[in-house]
Structure 1
Amino acid sequence: MWLSASCFLEFQIPVPTPFLLMLRPRSGWQQWIAREEYVLSPSVPAVEFTDIYGNLCQRLVAPAGHFSVLTSVNIETADVSDTAPGAPFIEVQQLPDETLPFLYPSRYCESDRFTEMAASISAGRAAGYDQCDAIVDYVRNTIRYTPGSGQQIISASELNQLGYGVCRDMAHLGIACCRALSIPARMVVGYLEGLEPMDLHAWFEAYVGNRWYTFDPTQPDLQGGRVAIAFGRDAADVAIYTQFGDPVELINMHVEVERMPGPTY
């Protein structure tokens, strides 16, 4: 399917403030960027680099006063997310080097605390994809999804005790349980068509059957219409903006995702 997706951020800046932004999706085998717009207002010099996870990041210093960022894309993406029941577990010694960072405990995914729980949740399931599926079922059935409630980032352990959270928090729990079973798992932040209420969305991917597969505890059906913007170990790696120094006020954030007709040739 073809999607038009945009994100508008509006700030009030007290003093010139350094920012790191992560708002540009990359073309890849699951998505293709056909058109892109990236507007800084007022215009300031920006430098782009690629981080250790392959994300496109932008460095800039926002001037004092009103400052806004608008990004928009037209993108072709899958209308159905791939599933692979029975896809096998890959032994750690056979994993590609680039997947290894996604095996370790991280700030918000304390996988070393979930070894027994993850084994219990996935008991009787075939090692690999089916274990991840059992974990997603557990998160969906035991954690109440409360979009709009998560101003503070919480960890997998905190969510498991609290019992409710946003998409980011539920992804943390799924990731921690997968890693506890020695399955690489990473967080994804991006757009999802039809999300209610519309916002940026977070899910996770697990590496089984020699590739990454999508898992989303917040959605009863694993729908397509996803646009990945950033990948990382947890929410600390995939913030769409990070500012340094005195706090700044985010006065407006608006996300739109709409299906559009494909190009005619």
Structure 2
Amino acid sequence: MWMETSCSLAFETPVATPFLLMLRPRSGAQQWIAREQYVLTPSVPAVEFTDQFGNLCQRLVAPAGRFSIHTSADIEAADFTDTAYGAPFVEVQLLPDATLPFLLPSRYCESDRFSQIASSITAGFTPGYNQCAAIVDYIRGALQYVPGAGQDIISAAEVNQRSQAVCRDMAHLGIALCRALCIPARMVVGYLEALQPMDLHAWFEAYVGGRWYTFDPTQGSPCGGRVAIAYGRDAADVAIYTQFGDPVELVGMTVRVERLNAAPV
């Protein structure tokens, strides 16, 4: 399917403030970027680099006063999320080097604290994709998805003590449980066409059967219309913006996703 996505951010910055942004999706196996727009108001110099996870990052210094960022893109994305029940577990010694960082505990995914519960949740399931699916079912049963209910970033261990969660929290718990089983898992932030209310969204991917597969505990069934913006070990790696120095006020944020009837010309 073809989609048009956009994200607009507006800040009040009391003084000139350095920013690190992660707002440009990249083309890959599941998405193709046909057109992009990236507007800074007022216009300031920006430098782009690629981080250790392949994300496109932008550095700039926002001037004092009102500062806004608007991005939009026309993107071809997958109509459906692939499923692969029975896809096998990949032994650690056979994993690609690039997947190894996603096996380790990280700031918000303390996988070393989940070995027992992960084994209990997945007992009797075939190692690999089926274990990941069992983890998603556990999260859906244990947590009520409440969009916008949590502003503070909490860890998987904290999430597992609660009854409600946002998408980021549910992704953290899924990642920690997968890693506890020696399944590489990474966080994804991006757009989801069917999301209500519309906002940026988080889910996770797990590496089984020789490739990454999408898992989203917030959705009752696999759905396509996803556009990935950033990948990382957890939320600390995939913030769409990070500002340095004295706090600034985010005074407005608008996210829009619309399906296009045909490929853009």
Q: So what's the TM-score if we normalise by structure 2?
A: 0.99
Match of 1:254 in 2: 254
Whole-angstrom CA distance in 2 between matches of 1:259 and 1:27: 18
Match of 2:129 in 1: 129
- The reply on whether 1:86 has 2:86 as its aligned counterpart is yes
Q: For each residue in 1:16-57, what CA deviation from the matched residue of structure 2 results, as whole angstroms up to 9, or x when unmatched?
A: 000000000000010000000000000000000000000000
Displacement of 1:144 in angstroms is 1.0
C-alpha change, 1:164 and 1:264, in structure 2 (3 Å) is closer
Whole-angstrom CA distance in 2 between matches of 1:147 and 1:264: 32
Q: Which segment is superposed worse, 61-70 or 140-149?
A: 140-149
Match of 2:30 in 1: 30
Match of 2:20 in 1: 20
| Aligned residue type for 2:207 | Y
Match of 1:4 in 2: 4
Match of 2:112 in 1: 112
Secondary structure of residue in 2 paired with 1:112: helix
Whole-angstrom CA distance in 2 between matches of 1:258 and 1:226: 12
Whole-angstrom CA distance in 1 between matches of 2:29 and 2:187: 18
Percent identical residues: 74
Match of 2:56 in 1: 56
Match of 1:231 in 2: 231
| Aligned residue type for 1:130 | N
Q: For each residue in 1:86-143, what CA deviation from the matched residue of structure 2 results, as whole angstroms up to 9, or x when unmatched?
A: 0000000000000000000000000000000000000000000000000000001111
Q: For each residue in 1:164-188, what CA deviation from the matched residue of structure 2 results, as whole angstroms up to 9, or x when unmatched?
A: 1100000000000000000000000
Match of 1:145 in 2: 145
User: Would you identify which runs of 4 or more consecutive aligned residues in structure 1 move more than 4 Å?
Assistant: none
Whole-angstrom CA distance in 2 between matches of 1:11 and 1:264: 31
Matches within 5 A, 1:111-260: 111-260=111-260
Match of 2:99 in 1: 99
Displacement of 1:264 in angstroms is 7.1
Whole-angstrom CA distance in 2 between matches of 1:73 and 1:24: 9
Q: For each residue in 1:50-73, what CA deviation from the matched residue of structure 2 results, as whole angstroms up to 9, or x when unmatched?
A: 000000000000000000000000
Secondary structure of residue in 1 paired with 2:84: coil
| Aligned residue type for 1:113 | R
Unaligned runs of 5+ residues in structure 1 are none
Displacement of 1:218 in angstroms is 0.3
Whole-angstrom CA distance in 1 between matches of 2:198 and 2:68: 20
Whole-angstrom CA distance in 1 between matches of 2:29 and 2:171: 23
Whole-angstrom CA distance in 1 between matches of 2:163 and 2:149: 13
Contact 2:121 2:135 in 1 (8 A): yes
Q: What is the total number of aligned residue pairs between the two structures?
A: 265
| Aligned residue type for 1:259 | R
Whole-angstrom CA distance in 1 between matches of 2:184 and 2:245: 34
Contact 2:11 2:251 in 1 (8 A): yes
Displacement of 1:149 in angstroms is 1.1
- The reply on whether 1:45 has 2:41 as its aligned counterpart is no
Whole-angstrom CA distance in 1 between matches of 2:141 and 2:264: 44
Displacement of 1:156 in angstroms is 0.4
Whole-angstrom CA distance in 1 between matches of 2:262 and 2:81: 19
| Aligned residue type for 1:38 | Y
Secondary structure of residue in 1 paired with 2:9: strand
Secondary structure of residue in 2 paired with 1:186: strand
- Report the RMSD for the aligned CA atoms in angstroms: 0.8
Unaligned runs of 5+ residues in structure 2 are none
